[in-house]
């Protein structure tokens, strides 16, 4: 026996004279990613290091913390970032170097 909601729906559909249709969902295509997607992914490889550097910079108080921020920023730039993020990363690195010199 079908649940009440489903049997009610089927009985209403049969009164209207229409039949149930099979699902019209389509399966996702198994196409290979284009070269531009691979290039975009390659540019985004450094985002993890950049995020770690920004989190560490917020709480940095000791010279070793500033040194780690600079290393993470250099790593992120080498791995690749989009232009706006790279610009911010360079500023973050410069600021960390200046604070390192003061401490």
The total number of structural domains that make up the chain: 1
Identify the sign of the CA torsion 59, 88, 72, 35.
positive
- Segments forming the whole domain that contains residue 87: 35-103
Angular region, 19: left φ>0, alpha ψ -120 to 50, beta rest: beta
Give tens-digit pLDDT for 55-89. Answer: 999 999 999 999 999 999 999 999 999 999 999 99
Whether 23 maps to a domain, the answer reads no
Whether 13 maps to a domain, the answer reads no
Rounded Cα distance, 78 and 4, in Å: 62
Give tens-digit pLDDT for 13-56. Answer: 555 555 555 555 565 556 565 555 555 555 568 999 999 999 99
The count of other CB atoms within 10 Å of the CB of residue 56 is 17
Q: Does 9 or 27 have the greater pLDDT score?
A: 27
Whether 10 maps to a domain, the answer reads no
Whether 82 maps to a domain, the answer reads yes
**Angle at the Cα of 7 (from 4 to 9), degrees rounded to 5?**
105
Residue 46 has which token pair? 């450094």
* Contact (CB, 8 A) for 76 and 50: yes
Q: What pTM was computed for the model?
A: 0.58
Whether 30 maps to a domain, the answer reads no
Residue 62 has which token pair? 């000791």
């Amino acid at each position: 026996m079908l649940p009440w909601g489903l049997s009610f729906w089927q009985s209403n559909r049969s009164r209207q004279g229409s039949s149930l249709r099979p699902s019209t969902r389509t399966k996702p295509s198994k196409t290979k990613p284009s070269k531009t997607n691979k290039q975009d992914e390659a540019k985004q490889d450094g985002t993890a290091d950049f995020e770690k550097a920004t989190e560490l910079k917020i709480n940095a108080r000791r010279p070793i913390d500033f040194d780690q921020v600079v290393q993470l920023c250099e790593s992120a730039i080498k791995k690749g970032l989009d232009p706006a993020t790279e610009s911010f990363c360079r500023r973050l690195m410069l600021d960390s170097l200046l604070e390192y010199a003061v401490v």
